[in-house]
């Protein structure tokens, strides 16, 4: 996805990303990533970053914790498009 398409998607986001929200991303037919937002912070350059816990789910193997990750807000929105709650 080009940066221009990502920028358009971010500007059309119907709500802001907030702590406590859960986002899902499918990784093929048998793997799902779940991202739970922990906090949003700006770095010294004014770029907002999302700190989130990541988990992986597979129907045949259950849920596995993936640890805490950080992405810039734009990258997070482009990656995790489906809000679950």
At 63-76, the pLDDT tens digits run 999 999 999 999 99
Alpha-carbon distance 85 to 81, whole Å? 12
Helix, strand or coil, per DSSP, at residue 11: helix
Residue 36, beta-bridge partner list = 22, 53
Burial call 57-68: b when 16+ CB within 10 Å, e when fewer: eeeeeeeeeeee
In order of 20, 52, 71, 77, the CA distances from 66 in angstroms are 17, 10, 14, 19
Q: How confident is the model at residue 49 (pLDDT cuts 50, 70, 90)?
A: very high
Write down the pLDDT at residue 40: 96
Q: Global pTM?
A: 0.79
Quote the pLDDT of residue 3: 46
């Amino acid at each position: 996805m080009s940066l221009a398409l990502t920028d358009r998607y971010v500007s059309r986001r119907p709500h802001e990303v907030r702590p406590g929200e859960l986002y899902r991303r499918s990784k093929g037919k048998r793997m799902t990533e779940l991202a739970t937002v922990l906090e949003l912070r700006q770095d010294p350059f004014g770029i907002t970053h999302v700190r989130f816990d990541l988990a992986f789910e597979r129907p045949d193997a259950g849920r596995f914790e993936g640890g805490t990750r950080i992405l810039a807000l734009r990258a997070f929105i482009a990656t995790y498009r489906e809000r679950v709650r």
